[in-house]
């Protein structure tokens, strides 16, 4: 097998020790002679995986007891409508901060279900920054505020979150979950598809404050109801068992590496390598995001023209790099620097960028 340097935006790199462990034990889990995905989701063995993953996540992410952890399906995208279904009453308004394509999609799904309001937006500047936002100007009867903590496509990230006022704050963290510590006191709900930073596709993590959960709509079909899923410990129906298993292994791996604090340190170190290469290139590479809003997870940049970009991406592909093309909606290049991407791979990429520049300047 040849080595590739996987910079995919999602699904993306999974820590090598996790893949090795899954290979060793997934097909004969704890001497059961059964693969994880062959076991009943009602069996004690699967329950061990399920609650083990939840406990490990609570542990490494320092999730307070007053939050419920759910394992749901339908991706982060289903959360775009589950959030308003559960929390937006007819006489209320939901307030969205627009920082990229995913927040636009979240707003669109909510607007099909109730009243929405845009609190702030950086659309006019091609989503190069996180717009100044505070919670003092919210409309009366605001049900919740919705943020996207990391903008996977444009490459921006909230450096810190605004201080919470008296309105619930709900955050899509699909592309930076588990990459830095969370100020839980300022957030009421976090959700994330697992396939970027927390494992494989199929499971969606939802972490929700119990006092918010109490306010959820009780008139929903059970499979769309947070209350139902919480009451059933995310075993209302068959959960994505293999995906939950992998998330548990990822959480264990993070703990062994030194926890989420260490993930944050590594992310800074790795991202700085690529941003330095961009900043020192005299405009050969130009970053999309404003410096103060730069994402540590998705680094987006362009070259002088599309031909040069194509050449860069082609040569990168030949050199073993995977996933460096920007999202199809915006073009350019994107380096996805998730937890599982090794420092060594980022160094090799940085050197490749410098060599390419020296050749084509």
Ligand X SMILES: *Cc1c(COP(=O)(O)O)cnc(C)c1O
Which residues contact ligand X (rule: CB under 6 A)? 10, 75-77, 102, 148, 152, 172, 174-175, 193
Q: Among residues 10 and 168, whose Cβ is nearest to ligand X? A: 10
* Residue 196 annotated as catalytic: yes
* CB-based burial, 82-94: b 16+ in 10 Å, e otherwise: bbbbbbbeeebbb
Q: Among residues 95 and 151, whose Cβ is nearest to ligand X? A: 151
| Alpha helices per DSSP H over the chain | 16-25, 44-60, 75-87, 101-111, 210-213, 226-231, 241-257, 260-279, 306-318, 343-360
* Residue 158 annotated as catalytic: no
Min dist. Cβ of residue 251 to ligand X (A): 18
Q: Among residues 75 and 248, whose Cβ is nearest to ligand X? A: 75
Looking at the DSSP bridge assignments, the partners of residue 302 are: 286
* Residue 102 annotated as catalytic: yes
Crossing angle, helix 260-279 and helix 241-257, to 10 degrees?
80
Min dist. Cβ of residue 99 to ligand X (A): 9
CB atoms within 10 A of CB 321: 20
- List the one residue out of 167, 118, 163 whose CA is nearest residue 142: 167
Q: Which of 56, 158, 172, 188 is catalytic?
A: 172
The residue nearest ligand X at its CB is 75
Task: Report the distance separating Cα 108 and Cα 97, nearest Å.
Answer: 12
Q: Which of 56, 176, 196, 253 is catalytic?
A: 196
The answer to whether the beta carbons of residues 149 and 173 sit under 8 Å apart is yes
- List the one residue out of 39, 123, 21, 87 whose CA is nearest residue 330: 123
Min dist. Cβ of residue 74 to ligand X (A): 7
Looking at the DSSP bridge assignments, the partners of residue 335 are: 299
Q: Which of 102, 176, 188, 270 is catalytic?
A: 102
Size (the chain), residues? 361
Min dist. Cβ of residue 240 to ligand X (A): 12
Min dist. Cβ of residue 191 to ligand X (A): 9
Q: Among residues 193 and 287, whose Cβ is nearest to ligand X? A: 193
Q: Among residues 75 and 168, whose Cβ is nearest to ligand X? A: 75
Instruction: Indicate the pairing of strand 67-72 with strand 204-209.
Output: antiparallel
| Residues annotated as catalytic (active site), given as ranges | 102, 172, 196
């Amino acid at each position: 097998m040849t080595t590739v340097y996987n910079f995919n935006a999602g699904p993306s790199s999974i820590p090598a020790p996790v893949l090795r462990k899954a290979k060793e034990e997934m097909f004969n889990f704890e001497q059961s002679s059964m693969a994880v995905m062959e076991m009943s989701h009602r069996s004690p063995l699967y329950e061990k995986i399920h609650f083990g993953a939840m406990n490990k996540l609570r542990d490494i992410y320092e999730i307070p007891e007053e939050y419920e952890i759910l394992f749901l399906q339908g991706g982060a995208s289903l959360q775009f409508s589950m959030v308003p279904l559960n929390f937006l009453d007819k006489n209320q308004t939901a307030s969205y901060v627009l920082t990229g394509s995913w927040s636009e999609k979240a707003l669109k799904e909510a607007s099909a279900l109730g009243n929405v309001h845009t609190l702030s937006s950086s659309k006019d500047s091609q989503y190069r920054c996180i717009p100044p936002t505070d919670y003092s100007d919210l409309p009366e009867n605001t049900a919740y505020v919705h943020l996207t903590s990391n903008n996977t496509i444009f490459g921006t990230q909230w450096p810190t979150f605004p201080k919470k006022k008296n309105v619930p704050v709900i955050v899509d963290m699909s592309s930076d979950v588990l990459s830095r510590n969370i100020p839980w006191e300022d957030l009421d709900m976090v959700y994330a598809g697992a396939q970027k930073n927390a494992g494989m596709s199929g499971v969606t993590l939802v972490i929700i404050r119990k006092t918010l959960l109490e306010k959820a709509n009780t008139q929903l079909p059970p499979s769309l109801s947070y209350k139902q899923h919480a009451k059933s410990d995310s075993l209302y129906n068959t959960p994505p068992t293999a995906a939950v298993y992998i998330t548990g292994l990822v959480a264990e791996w993070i703990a062994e590496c030194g926890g989420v604090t260490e993930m944050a340190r590594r992310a800074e170190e790795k991202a700085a390598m690529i941003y330095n290469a961009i900043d020192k290139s005299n405009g050969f590479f130009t970053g999309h995001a404003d410096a103060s809003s730069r994402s540590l997870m998705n680094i987006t940049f362009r070259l002088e023209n599309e031909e040069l970009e194509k050449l860069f991406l082609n040569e990168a592909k030949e050199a073993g790099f995977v996933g460096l093309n920007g999202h199809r909606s915006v073009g350019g290049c994107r380096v996805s620097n998730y937890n599982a991407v090794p420092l060594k791979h980022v160094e090799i990429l940085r050197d490749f960028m410098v060599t390419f520049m020296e050749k084509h300047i």
